[in-house]
Amino acid sequence: MSRIVFLALAADLILAPAAVHAQAGGGGRAASPSDAVLKQVRLDQKLNAQVPFDVTFRDETGKTVRFGDYFGRKPILLNLIQYRCRMLCSEEMKVFSGSLKELGFTIGDQFEVVTLSIDHREQPDLAAAYKAGYVKDYGRPGAEKGWHFLTGDEASIRRVADAIGYHFVYDPRTDQFAHPDGIQILTPQGRIARYFFRLSYPARDIRYGIIEAANGKIGTPIDAIALLCYHYNPVTGKYGLTILGLVRVFGVATVLGIVVGIGIMVGWERMARRRGGEQEPPDHESGA
């Protein structure tokens, strides 16, 4: 298991607009999270771990939903945020939604998205407002059926967060949560396939992650060839070219070239024989 620690991204708390001032009457100095708080913030990669299906949340309409009901059909992109956070969470959603718009796949068709609040005090009405804005900005028909915004109790939130290695902590001095950023791709069976973090979620990499999470059941032949070259690096959270991948592609290309070459040569040889047979005069025996 790879461990990625993101203390720097917890600066969300330091700059949070909701940061409370030092004691009442004290001059305007904003309280900042302690080192003890920041040291608890990290993202531990748990590739292939199973997320819990039995936990329940409320969707943006207020309906109680079972987390496992979102699985079984398509890969899921999961991200945990605080809806009323206007710093790191807003930046994460801005980058994420931008990548989703660049992605050739469409929410609800090849994959679905689940956005879960880490703040148990947030309610479905806030989730609904958040969803309306991002679905409108996304601008593709039917996306509202495939992008789910959830809220829930603290125990349920913690179970999902712990399953994906997402460590966050509440700071009462700022009334905000210190947390990492991150997008997780889950298989239809609920296992963690990929992590993207550091506010870098390239559309190309998300596409490859979705294809792999779906076991190659979606995508094009070009995608399949590209995935021979590109390999997911859990340390960087990105896909990159690998020497072995290039060797595989060149190997496949070489074999195909040989097969095609042999086929062409055999075809030419057959055509030459046919032409030779047509031009050869009949063999008549001469009688004396």
CA 140 to CA 211: how far, in whole Å? 20
Q: What is the pLDDT of residue 217?
A: 54
Q: What is the pLDDT of residue 32?
A: 56
Q: Hey, CA dihedral for 268, 271, 277, 279, is it positive or negative?
A: negative
Higher pLDDT, 259 or 97: 97
Mean of pLDDT values over 175-189: 92
Cβ-based neighbour number of residue 1 at 10 Å: 10
Mean of pLDDT values over 256-271: 66
Cβ-based neighbour number of residue 132 at 10 Å: 13
Residue 123, pLDDT above cutoff 50:
yes
Higher pLDDT, 175 or 126: 126
E strands present in the chain: 3-4, 42-44, 56-58, 64-66, 76-81, 112-117, 147-150, 166-167, 169-171, 176-178, 183-186, 192-196, 230-233, 238-241
Lowest mean pLDDT of 31-35, 71-75, 279-283, name the range.
279-283
CA 62 to CA 126: how far, in whole Å? 11
Furthest C-alpha separation in the chain: 136
Residue 222, pLDDT above cutoff 70:
no
CA 172 to CA 283: how far, in whole Å? 106
Domain ranges of the chain: 3-200, 220-270
3-200 homologous superfamily: Glutaredoxin (3.40.30.10)
Residue 231: band (very low, low, confident or very high) from pLDDT cuts 50, 70, 90: low
Under 8 Å between Cβ of 60 and 148 = yes
Mean of pLDDT values over 32-55: 86
Residue 198: band (very low, low, confident or very high) from pLDDT cuts 50, 70, 90: confident
Q: Percentage of residues in the chain with pLDDT exceeding 90?
A: 53
Under 8 Å between Cβ of 138 and 93 = no
CA 35 to CA 16: how far, in whole Å? 16
3-state secondary structure of 175: coil
| pTM summary value | 0.71
Mean of pLDDT values over 145-158: 98
CA 69 to CA 67: how far, in whole Å? 5
Residue 85: band (very low, low, confident or very high) from pLDDT cuts 50, 70, 90: confident
Q: What is the pLDDT of residue 99?
A: 97
Cβ-based neighbour number of residue 17 at 10 Å: 10
Residue 29, pLDDT above cutoff 60:
no
Mean of pLDDT values over 249-272: 61
Strand order across the 3-4 sheet:
3-4, 42-44, 166-167
Question: What is the tally of helices (H) and strands (E) in the chain?
Answer: 8, 14
